[in-house]
Amino acid sequence: MGRKENKRDEFLSLVPIGTKKVLDVGCGIGDLGVKLKANDMEVVGVENNEYCYNLSKEKLNKTFLADIEKFQLPYSSKYFDCILYADILEHLLNPLNLLCKHKEYLNDTGFIVASIPNIRYYKVISRLVVGGTWDYMDIGILDRTHVRFFTLINIQELFMKAGFEVVEIRRNIVAQRAMKILNFICFNGLKEFLTYQYYIKAKKLNDGETHFVNKRKIYQF
């Protein structure tokens, strides 16, 4: 099994045991959904790329070709046990609005599982501070189709504002050997800078449930 497959499996391991109905937002060609279906889950996908849609619709229980921010899901309230956003939220114009809208489709014990790139990654900072560059690429953290950028604090605040509590955070650490050694010497103090991508598991907060939100000063430049 390759490195990419290992990361997919780690992401999917956040899907709660007992999950039966999954919404996979931005399902791509359906590879993640296939693994979930192998565990007797019903997987519904939404994909805006027609090529990927044509492949995924043959693999998943149901796939819709749509822009998820404009699409009204044809399912009843609290239908899904889990919603996946695998490298999706950073592509959206208003991820908060979408999370709030999708909350009604999660059952009362439902979870969101998301993977989100970290703009605080050390190579991005290095190229900005030292090289003075902010270069968009076809893939990666500075993917030219990304319209939102997140640090861990921003991610946690996004979910709290949408009515979710982050219950688990995993890190996809991608760094040169020297940086990993330096992080070890610093007692893992550099982990947020070596994190390429976060894997987030968040539970739905229902009426009457509250979660402490730490107020912080936001600077305008």
Residues 6+ apart with CB under 8 A from 162: 96, 99, 100, 103
When divided into structural domains, the chain yields a total of: 1
Look at residue 141 and tell me if it is in a domain: no
pLDDT in tens, 78-96: 999 999 999 999 999 999 9
Look at residue 135 and tell me if it is in a domain: no
The separation between the first and the last C-alpha atoms of the chain, rounded to the nearest angstrom, is 46
Here the tokens at position 130 are: 């030292």
CATH number of the domain to which 98 belongs: 3.40.50.150
Q: What's the chain's Rg over C-alpha atoms?
A: 18
Q: Tell me the residue range of the domain where 72 lies.
A: 3-118+148-172+197-204
Residue type, 75: Y
Confidence of residue 1 (pLDDT cuts 50, 70, 90): very low
Q: Which of 49, 1, 9 is nearest to 31 (CA)?
A: 9
Look at residue 123 and tell me if it is in a domain: no
pLDDT in tens, 92-118: 999 999 999 999 999 999 999 999 999
Please tell me the pTM assigned to this model.
0.94
Q: How far is CA 26 from CA 83, 99, 151, 179, 191, in A?
A: 11, 14, 21, 33, 28
Look at residue 68 and tell me if it is in a domain: yes
Give the whole-angstrom CA distance, residue 21 versus residue 193.
Answer: 35
